[in-house]
């Protein structure tokens, strides 16, 4: 099951659905509170039949607050930590460590890891807000 995190995760969804043709898709909507950098869950929709594995798809892993919340939601739906995987583009070291406290580090795949977060909890040097860049907002 693919689990794109709305909104930025939608940018990666077409590539995954073209590679995994029979994948079901769950949608999780989480906004980041810009004052506290905490995740705010606003939407969930799971398929009627749950497959044995879940792949969280989110381009950025900064604090890992969002990814950890998604993993916790999946565990409440019956997934074990070992059945949950994360795929992204860019992560911070802090985010990698935090998510690895919830799911196995071997289940976390990103293209690059940047060294730190700034005061606003954005990845440094990073690329800014992925969803805003992708959707032009």
Q: Is 66 a catalytic residue?
A: no
**Annotated active-site residue in 32, 63, 66, 114:** 32
Q: Which of 33, 118, 132, 133 is catalytic?
A: 132
Residue 67: the pLDDT is 98
Tell me, what's the pLDDT at 135?
A: 73
Residue whose C-alpha is closest to residue 61's, from 103, 26, 16: 103
Integer Cα distance of 51 and 135 in angstroms? 30
pLDDT at 6: 93
Active site residue 76: no
Q: What is the pLDDT of residue 94?
A: 95
Does 58 participate in catalysis according to the annotation? no
Q: Which of 38, 30, 36 is nearest to 4 (CA)?
A: 30
**pLDDT the model gives residue 121:** 86
Distance CA 89, CA 60 (A): 6
Catalytic residue among 17, 53, 98, 129: 129
Q: Tell me, what's the pLDDT at 35?
A: 85
- Respond yes or no: is residue 36 known to be catalytic: yes
pLDDT tens over the chain, length 137 residues: 999 999 899 999 999 999 999 999 999 999 988 888 889 999 999 999 999 999 999 999 999 999 999 999 999 999 999 999 999 999 999 999 999 999 999 999 999 999 999 988 889 888 877 777 777 77
Exactly one of 33, 36, 93, 118 is catalytic; name it: 36
Which CATH number is associated with domain 2-135?
Answer: 3.40.50.2020
Quick one: which of 105, 114, 118 has its CA closest to 59? 114
Choose among 57, 70, 69, 114: nearest CA to 91.
114
């Amino acid at each position: 099951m693919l689990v794109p995190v709305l909104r930025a995760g939608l940018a990666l969804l077409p590539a995954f659905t073209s590679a995994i043709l029979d994948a079901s898709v769950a949608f999780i909507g989480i906004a980041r509170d810009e004052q506290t950098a905490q995740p705010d869950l606003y939407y969930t929709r799971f398929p009627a039949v749950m497959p044995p594995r879940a792949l969280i798809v989110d381009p950025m892993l900064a604090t890992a607050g969002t990814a950890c919340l998604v993993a916790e939601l999946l565990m409440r739906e019956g997934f074990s930590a070992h059945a949950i995987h994360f795929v992204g583009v860019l992560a911070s070291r802090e985010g990698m460590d935090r998510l690895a406290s919830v799911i196995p580090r071997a289940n976390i795949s990103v293209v690059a890891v940047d060294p730190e977060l700034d005061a606003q909890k954005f990845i440094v040097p990073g690329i800014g807000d992925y969803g805003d860049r992708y959707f032009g907002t």
